[in-house]
């Protein structure tokens, strides 16, 4: 692997990239190939590919047990799961959400002609600020949709208190939080329900998939109807519905990966510890910490770039990507700055100062089973070189190269 000692070793200034192949933030974690192929062969033998097959049923049962809830309703993807949960809760009018989240959180509301009202976040946790939520409540508000960002739990007790005070429904987008706890309780046990995404880039994947988990039996029954066109038995439609079913092949991948979760977490934790040791030692950088008292999946390595670092966040990303390190400015510039929302609410940014601050200083780095310790050391070396740039003339090198 290329040795990085000075600015002139960076690909940005004409040197070869540090990595021959791109390092992605979210490469799929894969469990046992042999176990998956055994499931696939059984699917072929049964010729039962979808429509609540035996593997989907087993997956739902095991997932509910793993997540500590009564009901798990598996879906074809996380976005459909979120849309069905929103519709099953009969939300309408306005629902309060963070702007600092993946765009699907807002789209799942807007797609159903529900207005997403963006509330600000806490600077330290990056999760919804309950007082900011309280300020955004209007007579049209029917719900609060919290996001357990980076796998760290929202302030669920405070949000529940706000919801109860104003008679609002509370649900959570838990796409980052599979296998995590909050105050020692598995995330998913809070609010009316929690929604998970099992997209290929998530630390736990089913190729593509999602689920809603809940202890509310009536809600679970309703969502099962809704994900299968409203069918209750053959030729008996009793509810408006859509097609949100998970396939047997997706469930097979989920079962295989569920057996490997502890292995995935161990690798993620190793990577997070090494990143933290190297990057926290550099002035102006801080790696978002996980609470050791909680169960975490360490899915994301989130670096905040402070004013003491001599190179801007965007310049860092540019330099890393030149080295084939496909670092990301996650959730930048915030949902409220994307179409159609910036056209709907052109001045809402005035109410979201913390969102703007966090969106402008976060970098998410590659991790997972395809990233090893030597690669992390090289990535840290890139940051180290950039940190010395004030002394050795980063801007001068940029002007010279350009």
Strand-strand pairing, 115-119 and 94-98: parallel
> Number of C-alpha atoms within 13 angstroms, CB side, residue 352?
29
Give a yes or no: residue 2 inside a domain: no
Q: Is the pLDDT of residue 399 over 90?
A: no
Report yes or no: 84 and 211 within 8 Å, Cβ to Cβ: no
Phi and psi at 247, nearest 5°, equal -85, 165
Expressed in angstroms, the distance from the first to the final Cα of the chain is 26
List b or e across 292-310, with b for residues whose CB sees 16 or more CB atoms inside 10 angstroms. eebbbbbbbbbbbbeeebb
Check whether residue 275 and residue 376 sit in a common domain: yes
Task: Residue 320: name the closest of 341, 293, 301, 335 by CA.
Answer: 301
Given a cut of 60, is residue 391 above it in pLDDT?
A: no
Strand-pair category, 115-119 with 141-147: unpaired
Q: Is residue 346 part of a domain?
A: no
How much is the pLDDT for 392? Answer: 58
Say if residue 245 is in the same domain as residue 284.
no
With bands split at pLDDT 50, 70 and 90, how would you rate the model's confidence at 402? very low
Judge whether 341 lies within some domain: no
Q: How far apart are CA 234 and CA 221, in angstroms?
A: 17
pTM of the model: 0.94
Whether residues 240 and 129 share a domain: the answer is yes
In percent, how much of the chain has pLDDT > 70?
97
| pLDDT at 6 (0 to 100) | 87
| Model pLDDT, residue 8 | 87
CATH number of the domain residue 180 falls in: 3.40.640.10
Q: What is the pLDDT of residues 270-323, one digit of tens each?
A: 999 999 999 999 999 999 999 999 999 999 999 999 999 999 999 999 999 999
Same domain for 222 and 268, yes or no, is no
- Last residue in a domain, options 209, 240, 259: 259
266 CB neighbour count, 10 Å cutoff: 12
Q: Are residues 199 and 266 in the same domain?
A: no
Q: Are residues 111 and 243 in the same domain?
A: yes
Same domain, 255 and 275: no
- What is the tens place of the pLDDT at every residue in 357-370? 999 999 999 999 99
Mark whether 41 and 173 lie in a shared domain.
Answer: yes
Q: Which of 259, 278, 298 marks a domain boundary?
A: 259
Q: Answer whether residue 400 shows pLDDT above 60.
A: no
Q: What's the rounded Cα separation, in Å, for the pair 99 and 115? A: 13
Task: Please name which of 366, 379, 315 lies closest in space to residue 2, comparing C-alpha atoms.
Answer: 379
Q: Is the pLDDT of residue 167 over 70?
A: yes
Query: Which run of H or E residues covers position 85?
Result: helix 78-88
Residue 135 lies in a domain: yes
List Cβ neighbours of 233 (8 Å cut-off, separation of 6 or more). none
Angle formed at CA 100 by CA 96 and CA 103, multiple of 5 degrees = 80
- What is the domain range of residue 278? 7-20+261-327+366-401
Residue among 107, 220, 91 nearest 167 (CA): 91
Give the total number of structural domains in the chain.
2
From CA 206, how far away is CA 188, in angstroms rounded?
A: 18
Q: What is residue 73's three-state secondary structure? A: strand
Predicted confidence (pLDDT) at residue 1 exceeds the cutoff of 80: no
Instruction: Round to whole Å and give the CA distance between 175 and 164.
Output: 24
Q: How confident is the model at residue 401 (pLDDT cuts 50, 70, 90)?
A: very low
The answer to whether 172 and 164 are in contact (CB under 8 A) is no
Encode pLDDT of 12-42 as tens digits: 989 999 999 999 998 999 999 999 999 999 9
Q: Out of 233, 259, 285, pick the residue that ends a domain.
A: 259
């Amino acid at each position: 692997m290329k040795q990085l000692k000075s600015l002139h070793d960076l690909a940005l200034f004409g040197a070869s990239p540090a990595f021959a192949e791109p390092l992605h933030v979210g490469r799929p974690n894969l469990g046992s190939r042999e176990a998956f192929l055994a499931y696939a062969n059984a699917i072929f033998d049964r010729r039962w590919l979808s429509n609540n097959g035996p593997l989907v049923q087993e997956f739902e049962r095991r997932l509910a047990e793993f997540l500590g809830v009564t009901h798990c309703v598996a879906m074809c993807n996380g976005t459909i799961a979120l849309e069905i949960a929103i519709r099953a809760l009969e939300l309408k009018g306005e629902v309060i959400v963070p702007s600092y989240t993946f765009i699907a959180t807002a789209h799942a509301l807007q797609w159903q002609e529900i207005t997403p009202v963006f509330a600000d976040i806490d600077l330290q946790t990056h999760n919804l600020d309950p007082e900011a939520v309280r300020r955004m409540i209007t007579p049209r508000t029917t719900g609060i949709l919290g996001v357990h960002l980076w796998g760290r739990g929202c302030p669920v007790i405070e949000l529940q208190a706000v919801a109860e005070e104003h008679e609002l429904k509370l649900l959570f987008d838990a796409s980052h939080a599979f296998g995590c706890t909050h105050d020692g309780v598995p995330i998913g046990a809070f609010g009316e329900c929690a929604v998970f995404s099992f997209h290929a880039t998530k630390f736990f994947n089913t190729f593509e998939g999602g689920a809603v988990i809940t202890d509310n039996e009536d809600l679970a029954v309703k969502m099962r109807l809704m994900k299968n066109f409203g069918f209750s038995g053959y030729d008996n439609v009793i509810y408006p519905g859509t097609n949100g079913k998970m396939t047997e092949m997706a469930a097979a991948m989920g079962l295989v990966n569920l057996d490997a979760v502890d292995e995935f977490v161990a690798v993620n934790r190793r990577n997070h510890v090494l990143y933290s040791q190297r990057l926290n030692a550099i002035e102006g950088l801080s790696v978002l910490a996980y609470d050791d008292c909680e169960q975490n999946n360490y899915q994301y390595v989130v670096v905040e770039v402070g004013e003491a670092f001599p190179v801007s966040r965007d310049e860092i990303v540019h330099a890393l990507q030149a080295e084939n390190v496909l670092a990301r400015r996650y959730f930048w510039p915030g949902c409220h700055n994307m179409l159609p929302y910036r056209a709907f609410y052109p001045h809402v940014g005035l109410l979201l100062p913390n969102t703007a601050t966090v969106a402008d200083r976060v970098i998410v780095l590659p991790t997972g089973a395809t990233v090893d310790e030597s690669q992390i050391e090289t990535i840290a070396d890139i940051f180290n070189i950039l940190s010395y740039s004030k002394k050795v003339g980063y801007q001068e090198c940029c002007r010279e190269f350009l």
